[in-house]
Structures are given as C-alpha cells and as structure tokens.
Chains A and B, each alone.
Chain A
Amino acid sequence: MTGNAATSRNSAYDVQMAASRWVIERRASEDWSAEDQGRLDAWLNESTAHMVAYWRADQAWDRTFRAAALRRPSASLTRRDRTGMFKFLALRIAASLIVIATLSAAASYLFLGPKYVTYRTPIGGRETLKLSDGSRIEMNTDTILRFATRASQRAVILDRGEAYFEIKHDPAHPFIVEAGGRQITDVGTKFLVRGEPRHLEVALLEGRVLLSAPHGIDAPDVDLTAGSVAIATPSDTAISKRSQQALQDELSWRRGVLVFHHTTLGDAAAEFNRYNTHKLVVTDPRAAMMTIDGKFLAGDVETFTDVAEDVLHLHVERQGDETVMSR
C-alpha cells in the first residue's frame, strides 16, 4: 500500500483493465505458479490504486459466478435417467463417496410408553427449542418433532421434516433421536437430521454420533464423525464425507437461505416447495435436468422463477397456486 492518488498518474481505466487481466490470469488459469504470484504481488504493491482495482475485479468475478451460474445440461447429466433412491444417491454422494456399507441385523425399540410433547412448524416456518441443559434444537420447515420427558435419557422423535441439533453431552443422560426407523445416539455434538419419504440423512458438523442399523437387522451401530453424512434407507446405510463449507450450506436454512451448488432445477424446485405453499412445477424433463448455482431466500420463489426465466430462458407461467416452468 504505497503511493497515493496524487502520484498515481495511470488512468483508472488502464489500471482497471490491467487488474481485470490479473484476475483472469489468477482465477482462470490452470497453471498458476509461485513465480506468477510473485509478479502479481509486485504489481499490487506498486500502488494502492492497483490493489483496490484488483479487489474490485476479483469481487466482480466472484459475483458473476454466484449471481446465476447456470450450466446447460451436459452429456453426463442428461444421461442420468435412473429412478428413486439410486438416483438420489448418485446425486448426493457423487465423487466423495467413501463407504457404502450394507448392514444386516435387528434393532431394538427403546421407546416403550414414554410421554411426548409434540412440536410442529408449518410450511415455511422455523423454530428453535431451547432445552434446560443448554442444548438447542432448530426445526426447519414443515417439521414434526416429539420430545420425550423421561428421567433416564433425553429422547426426540423426528416424525417428519428436518432439524438441527446442538447437544450438550451428558454421559448419564444420552441424547437419542429416532427418525426413519433408526436411532441416532449423540456423544456431544452438532448434527442435522433430515427425514425424506424414502430415506434419512444425518450430517455431522462436530463431535460423534452412533447411528443404529436398519430395523430388524442385527449389526453394530455406525460411528459417525465430523464431516460425515449418512444416507440411511430402510435397508442400507451409505456414508460420505463433506467439507465444512458444504455442511454449512446445507444448514443455510437456519438463516432462511437456500444454497444450490450444481443442483438440478428439479431438485431446486423441490427444495423451494418444502418452504412455500405456492408450488413450483417443472414439467419438461430436460428443463428439470438443468443445473444452477446460487443462494436464494427460501421464501422468495419469485426471484428463483426470474432466474429460470432470465438466465435459463425457460417459459414460466403462474397458474393459481402453482408456477409451471418449461422449455
């Protein structure tokens, strides 16, 4: 940061054009070397004007990417024509797959006649439950959760929807979440449980939990550690690793935000539909396969349909309680 306005005789136009070239060199090159970095640093250090112009162009580059990065359906995407669970797994686990374990054996039911308090959130709703031990449960949209009042343990049944748990560990009173026929036993941690019609997703942000085997199958609990994501179906458990950033994105609903990263339009529409009574319908299968990136407010369907219209060039038509998107 040397030099000042009075001595920087280069016109702002030239400086900004040079900064744009540097950002392109730096951000869009496949072979950026330490030597290149040295040259860039030298240029940046020549004047504050250089540095500021670089920050500005770099930010614009990010912004372009974020604002509406769309990808036309590529060959690998359009070929994907499988159904149900397998398609889901292919989509969610993709490259970072570590283990697919098929477990077999029987699970036991611990919940014998306790008393429950039921909490629900409506579509688009969000609620935080603060427990007396300092633990927190954040319920996402359209969620039903029952809390068991028992002396020996803390137990929650997630009947529907999604909840994020930040649990204070207490070895004398383990915290158990039951969902999708499985039990998740907390060992002091932050984790997310999302119930879908055909599977359950458990994502670990910190600490450890034990995930029970499928009901009726005699197998040991699966030990999940930070960064793990388990997809549990009635018969299988698949475990993958995700980056902290990916997990934080998954939790963006806690701020009322949806984050899409190479998400198909079909999945993105389904995600919006979880939060809104006004539903999005993607009729054209080719349109449903287009992918998008970006962050949206969960309740702001209109901006999302604007993206579909302006950026993906889809035909968008509002019909009563639905918005239909097609090519």
Chain B
Amino acid sequence: MTDTRDHDRERDGARHDGVAVSVDAVQAWFLREVLPLEAALTGYFRRNWRNESDVRDLVQDVYVHVCESARRDIPGNARAFVFITARNILIDKFRTRRVIPIETIGDLEALATASDQPGPDRDVISRDELRRLRQALESLSPRCREVVIYKQLEGLSRREIAARMGISEETVKEYLAIGLFNLSDIFFGESSGRGSVA
C-alpha cells in the first residue's frame, strides 16, 4: 500500500509520511525521555503564559504533538524537541493575541540546552522521589489517602477496602482515581499540588 519506487520518491522529494514507529516504541520513548521533562515544561508555560488554568492544556498539546511526530520518527534530542514544540505552541497562542514577549525565546535556549543527568539506574529510588511520594500522599484528603495506602501499599482489594472503610466499591474507585490524578501531578509536574481535586 505504501509502495514507493525510487522515481516516485524523487518526484515527491520527500519520504512517504506514513506511520513508521510502533505505539509501544513511542510509549517507551515518551515515558523515558518526555515525561521526566514535565516539571520543567510546566514551569516554562507558567512563566510565559499568564493564564494558569491553561497550563495543563498546553502541556497536553505538547505531548500530543511530540508523540504524533514520534510515530513517524523518534526525535534524537527529546528535550530540544519538546521545548521547541512548546515555544511554537506558545507563539501560536500569542499570535492570536498579537503579542510575543521576547523573553520566551531566551528562556527556551537555556531549557533546551540544559543537560539532564540520569543516575546509574533510573529506576532506583531517589530521595527526591520519596519526598514527592510523601508530599503527594499528604496532599490528598484523609479518606483519599487512606484508600490509596490500603490499595497501593497494603495490597488490599477494592472490596476489602470498601468493607474496611464502610464505603461502596464505586467510592473506593473514585478515591483511587482522584488519588492517582494528584499523584501523577506531583510525580511528573510541579510539586505544589496545584489543580488538586482531592
């Protein structure tokens, strides 16, 4: 179906832009290279875009854009690619308001070239991660925290948690979802717990 012969390619002057990278490979790349940048990316948007309530959407737009690009070809320098995408998205937004602050560009240079230094084993628990976990758990409402601890740390089933706390299984599920939403923000985004729903 995507049979490109040499003369076709020459005439088109570009490669067929079909999907070339598997979803699994994109997922692995996203989790390894892009997600760790979320805190920096969130900070970048907070500094450069006045409306705090748009930040989550802007970060999502970057993720969607870079993952769709990665389906064609995994970018070599994830960090640079993510922040160039972020800048372009911001510029688009500014354009509709006809103002582009100059500092946005300068800020980007610093971010895109800063090197991140992975540890000897990325999976190893770091003190920072522990602090974040504690912080994340503390940011949850007491009931929500209790449910998350029962499930994740004590390995109880939803039914057991429901029985122990005298609430319905549906409520347990909802608490877990809220807990996970907040934990995701604290692990990957900024640790202030902004946008908390608990």
Contacts and interface: CB of A to CB of B under 8 A. Distances in A.
Interface in B135-191: 136, 148, 151-155, 157-159, 173-174, 176-178, 180-181, 183-184, 187-188
Interface string B14-46: 000001000100110011000100000000000
> Dominant SS at the B interface?
helix
A296 B125 contact: yes
> Dominant SS at the A interface?
helix
Contacts of B130: 67-68, 303, 306-307, 310-311
Contacts of B127: 302-303, 306
Given A4-B64, A12-B59, A13-B195, A294 B125 contact: yes
A130 interface: no
Given A296-B124, A297-B120, A303-B126, A24 B67 contact: no
Contacts of A53: 60
B154 A60 contact: no
B177 A17 contact: yes
Contacts of A20: 177-178, 180-181, 184
A306 B130 CA distance: 8
A294 B174 CA distance: 27
Contacts of B67: 1, 48, 51-52
Given A52-B64, A67-B133, A294-B125, A30 B71 contact: no
Contacts of A256: 120-121
Contact of A257 (B61, B64, B121, B153): B121
A56 B188 contact: yes
B63 A49 contact: yes
Interface string A112-138: 000000000000000000000000000
